[in-house]
Amino acid sequence: MRRPVNMATYTGKTVTEAIDNGLSDLQVNRHQSNIKVVKFPKMGMFGRVRQAAVVEIEPLSVDTDLGDTLPAETPMTADENRLLLLSSISQATAEYVKYLATEKKITLNYEIKVVPDQFFIEMSSNDEEELIGPKGQTINQFQELANQYVVNAEKNPAVQEANIQGIKVELDINGYRAKRSRILRKVATRAEKVVGESEGAIYFDPMPKSERDQIHAFLQDSETVRSFSEGQGDERAVVVAPLTKLND
């Protein structure tokens, strides 16, 4: 029978590297050990590792009469490696958002859902209003920074080798995004009506790209108005104008 012995701790730039370091040092394979991920790596703004991945490995001794029954070590597949990297990046991104909140003296917890090409980070906090901010400014700022964090992480050679790119991050808290989307739809519908009746253009206040895109989507099939964005950086805003008045 197998008898557990002491756990040993190993580090690496990625979880995979930490595990490989440990298995090599202990001269065992995955089937001969229990592996626990203690810490996921934290990546800096330019894809550099700020905190190494940490794993604990417990080698298992095997009676000699059962030794030949152990399966051979199976190398990690490309898909398994990609999933492991995605898990590491999403965890590091969520921790980065938590750090941003801490800088504003906001305490938050989170849950992560990883789907193809997107991380959904659902946050919870006793400071919900402060975390959202006026007109969603704080949560949108955090989301923009989180997306930039992932862009920088994607420059890491190991991440590029796994063909991980174009990941988008969405932050939410207590259904805020759905509520905000309903408001944007009402605003777009109202703008369509006013512009259609007055034949004048409406200039919205600046808003993040994700919200501008929603208004464009709501109005894309309109028979009376069209929408486009103008301005630079944080001042970029939506304009709704009659179809016959303005061109691209």
Contact 192, 242 (CB under 8 A): no
User: Is there a single domain that holds both residue 162 and residue 194?
Assistant: no
**What is d(CA 92, CA 44) in angstroms, rounded to the nearest whole number?**
9
Based on the fold, state whether residues 139 and 208 are members of the same structural domain.
no
CA distance 241 to 227: 6
Do 83 and 137 belong to one domain?
yes
CA distances from 131 to 56, 112, 162, 234 (A): 35, 17, 34, 19
End position of a domain, from candidates 174, 204, 219: 174
User: How many Å separate Cα 33 from the centre of its chain?
Assistant: 31
pLDDT at 97: 93
pLDDT band at 3 (very low <50, low <70, confident <90, very high): very low
- Helix ranges restricted to H, the chain: 15-26, 78-103, 128-132, 137-153, 157-161, 176-198, 209-219
- E strand or H helix at 39: strand 33-39
> What pairing do the DSSP bridges indicate for beta strands 118-124 and 168-173?
parallel
Q: Are residues 91 and 167 in the same domain?
A: yes
Lowest-confidence segment of 61-65, 75-79, 89-93, 165-169 by average pLDDT: 61-65
* Structure confidence at residue 66 as a pLDDT band (50, 70, 90): very low
Give the three-state DSSP class for 232.
coil
Whether 70 and 32 have beta carbons less than 8 Å apart is answered as yes
Give phi and psi for 98, each to the nearest 5. -60, -40
Per-residue confidence at 74, pLDDT binned at 50, 70, 90? low
Q: Can you give the pLDDT at residue 60? A: 76
Choose between 213 and 47: higher pLDDT.
213
Q: Is residue 126 part of a domain?
A: yes
pLDDT at 218: 96
pLDDT band at residue 164 under the 50/70/90 scheme: confident
The answer to whether residues 70 and 62 touch, using CB atoms and an 8 Å cutoff, is yes
Q: Which helix (H) or strand (E) holds 8?
A: strand 8-12
pLDDT band at 125 (very low <50, low <70, confident <90, very high): very high
* pLDDT tens digits for range 178-201: 999 999 999 999 999 999 888 889
Mean pLDDT of 110-122: 90
CA dist 50 and 48 (Å) reads 6
> Could you report the per-residue pLDDT of 15-48, keeping only the tens digit for each?
778 888 888 888 888 777 787 777 766 655 445 5
Write out the H or E segment, with its range, that includes residue 50: strand 49-51
Average pLDDT taken over every residue of the chain: 83
Q: Same domain for 71 and 112? A: no
Predicted confidence band of residue 173 (pLDDT cuts 50, 70, 90): very high
Cα separation of 234 and 230, whole Å? 11
Residue 238 scores a pLDDT above 70: yes
**Residue 174: left (phi > 0), alpha (psi -120 to 50), or beta?**
left
Within this chain, do residues 20 and 98 fall inside the same structural domain, yes or no? no
88 contacts 68 by C-beta, under 8 angstroms? no
Q: Which of 28, 57, 75 is the last residue of a domain?
A: 75
Could you list the residue range(s) of the whole structural domain that residue 238 is in? 179-242
Total domains, the chain: 3
Residue 248 lies in a domain: no
Residue 247 placed within a domain: no
